[in-house]
Amino acid sequence: MRWLTTAPVALVLAGVGAAGTAGVAGAATGPVDRPASAAACPTGWGSGGKSATESVSTPLKSVRTGQHTCYDRMVFDISGASGKLGYHVGYVDEFHQDGSGEQIPVGGGAILQIFVNAPSFDVATGKPSYAGRAGQSLPGVNLTGYKTFKDTKFGASFEGQTQIGLGVRARLPFRVLQSGDKLTVDVAHTW
């Protein structure tokens, strides 16, 4: 019966997370009933900008968040997209709406600006695929109790990309991952 308690750890170490996204070796170490220690958390991701230039015309469907032992996670669902997804993620001093340049206040100690190369509407019909509104918090995202994430704001969907402002506790290391048609941004709890 020992296999039943070690199988979930093996799946995480093999790269399969609970939400079907890439797992992290070291994020769950030791027995399942013990949390990972701070020493086991990866923090070498850096805080410099990260980007990929690929582009898709498949629209953004949803944005959701999750809490993990070592980091908070934001997942962009671009259902039906194939191949690499384009993005640009980096810290900014102020969050300005793409297109208009209007400043949008974002709470937290630092602001992570996220551009995903997917519009929030169907390019063929113009019908919205994601209900974000400029300057408003992301629909369906509740950050109560999160250790690192503090606020979200929708910027714009302009020229084939969607812009999000993510308020975080401080300027912390982050990484960007792709798993199938999902783009994931993880922000570490510590350095």
Q: Provide the CATH number for the domain around residue 98.
A: 2.60.40
Provide the terminal-to-terminal Cα distance of the chain, rounded to the nearest Å. 38
Say which residues have a Cβ less than 8 Å from residue 153's Cβ, sequence separation at least 6: 95, 104, 105, 106, 135, 136, 137, 138, 164, 165, 167
- Residue 4 forms part of a structural domain: no
Nearest one of 191, 39, 181 to 118, comparing CA atoms = 181
Nearest one of 141, 184, 181 to 59, comparing CA atoms = 181
- Residue 120 forms part of a structural domain: yes
Mean pLDDT of 165-173: 98
Domain encompassing residue 162: 44-188
pLDDT value for 181: 93
- Residue 110 forms part of a structural domain: yes
pLDDT value for 37: 53
- Residue 95 forms part of a structural domain: yes
Which residues on neighbouring strands pair with residue 157, listed in sequence order?
162
> Which 3 state secondary structure label does DSSP give 7?
helix
Mean pLDDT of 94-114: 97
H or E segment to which residue 182 belongs: strand 182-188
Cα 45 to Cα 42: distance, rounded to the nearest angstrom: 8
Q: Give the sign of the dihedral formed by CA 137, CA 121, CA 97, CA 76.
A: positive
The burial of 101, by beta-carbon neighbours within 10 Å (0-12 exposed, 13-18 middle, 19 or more buried), is given as exposed
- Residue 154 forms part of a structural domain: yes
pLDDT value for 39: 58
Cα 120 to Cα 158: distance, rounded to the nearest angstrom: 9
- Residue 137 forms part of a structural domain: yes
The burial of 121, by beta-carbon neighbours within 10 Å (0-12 exposed, 13-18 middle, 19 or more buried), is given as middle
Cβ–Cβ < 8 Å for 149, 168? yes
- Residue 102 forms part of a structural domain: yes
C-alpha distances in Å from residue 11, one per residue of 21, 66, 68, 95, 179: 11, 18, 16, 38, 15
- Residue 22 forms part of a structural domain: no
Ranking 53-57, 85-89, 92-96, 151-155 by mean pLDDT, the lowest is: 53-57
The answer, yes or no, to whether residue 27 has pLDDT greater than 50, is no
Q: How many domains does the chain have?
A: 1
Ranking 16-25, 47-56, 94-103 by mean pLDDT, the lowest is: 16-25
